[in-house]
Amino acid sequence: MTIRLSIFVAVTFLAGLGFLWQAAQFPASHEVSTLIGPRTWPFGVLVLMLGLLAVMALLLWTKGPEPFTGSQDASSPASEPDAAVQRDHLAGGRWRHLIILGLTLGYTLTMTLTGYLVATALFAALATVVLGERRPLRVGLNTAIAVAIVALVFDRLLNIPLP
């Protein structure tokens, strides 16, 4: 498990550095007419990702794989490769990643038919259910918050009108 986690950290860190270099090629805020330039968001996310990977590498180096597997004892079942992953068959645990991918593709198609906010609301509600939430109030709140954040970020912060 330690070798797999170490390889994951190394490959993800190298990929993040490559994407960081590509993000640095985008125009900065002083080069465009919006408050926040196209470089800001990917640059911020990548710096955060690289920082969290550095913390993960430090924990892996100092404490081993236990913080990531939930196991303190090497003989327990959680030290097996995928024992830390919890499967929820009601929410399509095995196929969840493919369902989310399909929802993302449907989101882009729906956006052209219904507009950005309606497509975002549908995507947020369906993704919330696929990821395991069953309580209607929480699904509704998550959807409303997602739509509000998207609308505020694009319309107010970035000055990009939504279709």
The answer to whether residue 33 is domain-embedded is: yes
Q: Do residues 66 and 137 share a domain?
A: no
66-85 residue pLDDT tens? 777 765 544 445 444 444 34
Q: How confident is the model at residue 54 (pLDDT cuts 50, 70, 90)?
A: very high
Task: Tell which of 61, 84, 107 closes a domain.
Answer: 84
Q: Do residues 36 and 95 share a domain?
A: no
Q: Do residues 105 and 48 share a domain?
A: no
Q: Is the pLDDT reported for residue 20 higher than 60?
A: yes
Q: Do residues 118 and 96 share a domain?
A: yes
Q: How confident is the model at residue 103 (pLDDT cuts 50, 70, 90)?
A: very high
Q: Do residues 12 and 66 share a domain?
A: yes
Tokens of 67: 């913080």
Name the more confident of 21 and 37: 21
Domain that holds residue 56: 2-84
Query: What letters, b where the CB count within 10 A reaches 16 and e where it falls short, cover 145-161?
Result: ebbeebeeeeeeebeee
Task: Yes or no: say if 125 and 107 are a contact pair by the CB < 8 Å rule.
Answer: no
| pLDDT (average), residues 5-18 | 91
| pLDDT (average), residues 30-57 | 83
Percent of the chain with pLDDT over 90: 39
| pLDDT (average), residues 105-121 | 92
Q: Is the pLDDT reported for residue 23 higher than 50?
A: yes
Number of structural domains found in the chain: 2
Task: Yes or no: say if 53 and 13 are a contact pair by the CB < 8 Å rule.
Answer: yes
Q: Do residues 8 and 80 share a domain?
A: yes
What integer best gives the mean pLDDT of the chain? Answer: 81
Helix (H) or strand (E) holding 21: helix 2-23
Task: Tell which of 23, 57, 84 closes a domain.
Answer: 84
The answer to whether residue 163 is domain-embedded is: no
Q: Do residues 16 and 78 share a domain?
A: yes
pLDDT of residue 92: 54
Q: Is the pLDDT reported for residue 40 higher than 70?
A: yes
Q: Do residues 70 and 95 share a domain?
A: no
The answer to whether residue 162 is domain-embedded is: no
The answer to whether residue 65 is domain-embedded is: yes
Q: Do residues 72 and 122 share a domain?
A: no
Percent of the chain with pLDDT over 70: 80
Highest mean pLDDT (candidates 42-46, 78-82, 157-161): 42-46
